[in-house]
Amino acid sequence: MFEELESVVLTRDIPDSGLNEGDVGTVVHRYGNGEGYEVEFVAGEGRTVAVLTLNRADLRPLEDREILHVRKLASA
């Protein structure tokens, strides 16, 4: 179960939102006992890219010895 304000990693692409597997987001709300999560994904300058309601299978925790990576967002 993830906690609010925890960083999480997306486990699948979500093309409609411009997100790729491996993108890092922050849990901003947890529904019930982890039945769902509201997750915010932001660009490097802090602009919100997407806020999505996702389930546990869509997310995984950050693991030890992982490094964050920067990529360009696709043009809208």
**Residue holding tokens 């039945």?**
35
Q: Encode burial over 1-34: b for 16+ CB neighbours within 10 A, e otherwise.
A: ebeeebebbbeeebeeebbeeebebbbeebeeee
Question: Residue 10 is which amino acid?
Answer: L
Read off the pLDDT of residues 11-68 as tens digits, 9 standing for 90 and up: 999 999 999 999 999 999 999 999 999 999 999 999 999 999 999 999 999 999 999 9
pLDDT at 76: 54
When computed from its CA atoms, the radius of gyration of the chain, rounded to whole angstroms, is 12
Ordered by where they begin, the domains of the chain are: 7-61 (2.30.30)
